[in-house]
């Protein structure tokens, strides 16, 4: 390593806040694939950022507090514990379910023609869809191009509490569960079309850039709609600094949309996963070469892997999140999960896995399934109470089996047993 001094400008990275997740992510965002990549696990982007370093130039680390800089070279033997603050932030199961459904509803606007790949079983997917379907949001997400005024006029004829809401698709729901959000470009600047946004080269040709004002606009009241009686405040403009600020009235297109992970700063262009623009029956033209002369081949359609598209150190991939144990549980949650699907990368071995820590996506799934199990348990109690009040001792066969499975699952978690009769848990 070459040792030198430099004068660091005043910035948020220069503040000493070792327990701040925001400061940590701000430092981590300075590490780019073009300036800091292929480093040993002990000095990769996460290890350097958690120790207070930022990336400024090719293979150059800078400390914003003591103004010391390092030009990183080959080294071995360095080892540090993983940053405890770098993990998926968990909320209560109910809050987590609402937040994921809100993000999934926004993702549904651009995920209609995108095929995804995920590690969940069909039983787990069905349980998640059922759980999220039972969540009711206080704000409606408008998936059509109807104006706000028309939607509000229609809402006046609906019963109180009824929402003009379309359930998100399975692809949008799973994409949201794995931590992805929509990133919109700033209306004052054009997003550069860079092929490095996606992991592999896209088979879909890029379309010419258009002015930012033509790529998205705000819905306006249609002809014939009664104007609102009171003036509405102007809608906030979307910005890159707030990926989750996507409003349901902003028109977005999949071929100009970026998916964004706020934890690993990964950006993925959806245009790389769209169907063939030449039509479903026409082959995609490939560059001709000595072995392809006179031949027409069909390029297989790519699928968006919602897990592997994360960077190798992302908390959604690394076992760094600890799920709080249920009352009466003697084992750490997630410790008995099988590992049928994992991202093999040498940089994952550098993290000191804490006892009971699981991957972030498993932690999120555990919280959602807990919410669904608690809801089914309450539903079963209510059903049995109503049946007893009516003098009937019989409950429907399907409902009874479902309630028994949930109760057995909860009892198994409390006693710490590994096996579970619920098919939603692996």
Domain shared by 170 and 271, yes or no: yes
Q: For the chain, how many structural domains are there in total? A: 2
Say if 382 falls within a structural domain: no
Domain shared by 124 and 22, yes or no: no
Domain shared by 39 and 92, yes or no: no
Domain shared by 123 and 57, yes or no: no
Residue 415 clears pLDDT 70, i.e. is over it: no
Say if 262 falls within a structural domain: yes
Residue 123 clears pLDDT 70, i.e. is over it: yes
Confidence at residue 173, expressed as pLDDT on a 0 to 100 scale? 92
Domain shared by 66 and 91, yes or no: no
Mean of pLDDT values over 352-379:
83
Domain shared by 60 and 114, yes or no: no
Domain extent, residue 189, equals 87-195+236-278+298-370
Confidence at residue 84, expressed as pLDDT on a 0 to 100 scale? 65
Domain shared by 52 and 107, yes or no: no
Q: Which residue has the higher pLDDT, 5 or 213?
A: 5
Residue 379 clears pLDDT 50, i.e. is over it: yes
Of 66-75, 210-219, 291-300, give the lowest mean pLDDT range: 210-219
Say if 223 falls within a structural domain: no
pTM for the predicted model, two decimal places: 0.52
Say if 153 falls within a structural domain: yes
Say if 420 falls within a structural domain: no
Domain shared by 244 and 313, yes or no: yes
Say if 109 falls within a structural domain: yes
Q: Give me the chain's average pLDDT, please.
A: 67
Domain shared by 153 and 256, yes or no: yes
The band of 421, judged by pLDDT with boundaries at 50, 70 and 90, is: very low
Confidence at residue 67, expressed as pLDDT on a 0 to 100 scale? 79
Mean of pLDDT values over 238-262:
61
Domain shared by 332 and 248, yes or no: yes
Domain shared by 259 and 304, yes or no: yes
Say if 322 falls within a structural domain: yes
3-class secondary structure per residue, the chain: CEEEECCCCCCHHHCCCCCCHHHHHHHHCCCCCCCCCCCCHHHCHHHHHHCCEEECCCCEEEECCCCEEEECCCCCCCCCCCCCCCCCCCCCHHHHHHHHHHHHHHHCCCCCCCCEECCCCHHHHHHHHHHHHCCCCCCCCCCCCCCHHHHHHHHCCCCCCCCCCCCCCHHHHHHHHCCCEEECCCCCCCCCCCHHHCCCCCCCCCCCCCCHHHHCCECCCCCCCCCCCCCCCCCCCCECCEHHHCCCCECCCHHHCEEECCCCCCEEEHHHHCCCCCCCCCCCCCCCCCCCCCCCCCCCCCCEECCCCCCCCCCCCCEEEECCCCCCCCCCCCCCCCCCCCCCCHHHHHCCCCCCEEEHHHHHHHHHHHHHHHHHHHHHHHHHHHHHHCCCCCCCHHHHHHHHHHHHHHHHHHHCCCCCCCCCCC
Residue 258 clears pLDDT 70, i.e. is over it: yes
Say if 391 falls within a structural domain: no
Domain shared by 151 and 39, yes or no: no
């Amino acid at each position: 390593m070459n040792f030198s001094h430099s004068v660091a400008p005043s910035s948020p990275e220069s503040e000493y806040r070792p327990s701040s997740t925001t400061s940590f992510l701000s430092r981590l965002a300075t590490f780019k694939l073009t300036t800091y990549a292929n480093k040993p696990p002990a000095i990769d982007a996460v290890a350097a950022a958690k120790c207070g370093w930022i990336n400024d130039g090719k293979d150059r680390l800078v400390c914003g507090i003591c103004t010391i800089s390092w030009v990183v070279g080959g080294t071995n033997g360095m080892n540090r514990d993983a940053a405890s603050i770098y993990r998926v932030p968990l909320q209560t199961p109910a809050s987590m379910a609402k937040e994921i459904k809100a993000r999934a509803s926004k993702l549904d606007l651009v995920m209609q023609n995108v095929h995804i790949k995920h590690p969940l079983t069909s039983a787990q997917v069905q349980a998640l869809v059922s759980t999220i379907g039972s969540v009711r949001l206080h704000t409606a997400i408008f998936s059509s191009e109807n104006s706000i005024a028309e939607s509000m006029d229609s809402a006046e004829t609906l019963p109180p509490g009824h929402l003009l809401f379309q359930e998100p698709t399975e692809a949008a729901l799973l994409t949201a569960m794995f931590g992805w959000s929509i990133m919109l470009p700033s209306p004052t600047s054009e997003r550069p079309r860079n092929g490095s946004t996606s992991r592999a080269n896209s088979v879909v040709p890029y379309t010419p850039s258009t002015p930012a004002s033509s790529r998205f606009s705000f819905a306006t009241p249609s002809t014939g709609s009664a104007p609102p009686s009171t003036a509405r405040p102007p809608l906030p403009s979307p910005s890159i600094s707030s990926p989750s600020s996507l409003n349901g009235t902003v028109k977005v297109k999949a071929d100009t949309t970026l998916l964004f992970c706020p934890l690993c700063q990964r950006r993925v262009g959806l245009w790389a996963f769209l169907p063939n623009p030449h039509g479903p029956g026409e082959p995609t033209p490939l560059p001709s070469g000595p072995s392809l002369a006179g031949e027409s081949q069909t390029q297989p359609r790519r699928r968006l892997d919602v897990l592997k598209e994360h960077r190798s150190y992302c908390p959604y991939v690394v076992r760094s999140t600890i799920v709080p144990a249920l009352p009466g549980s003697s084992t750490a949650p997630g410790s008995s999960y099988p590992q049928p699907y994992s991202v093999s990368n040498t940089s994952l071995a550098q993290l000191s896995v804490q006892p009971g820590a699981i991957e972030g996506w498993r932690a999120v799934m555990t919280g959602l399934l807990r919410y669904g199990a608690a809801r089914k348990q309450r539903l079963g109690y209510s059903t049995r109470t109503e049946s007893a009040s009516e003098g009937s001792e019989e409950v429907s066969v399907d409902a009874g089996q479902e309630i028994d499975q949930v109760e057995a699952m909860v009892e198994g978690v409390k006693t710490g047993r590994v096996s579970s009769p619920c098919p939603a848990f692996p």
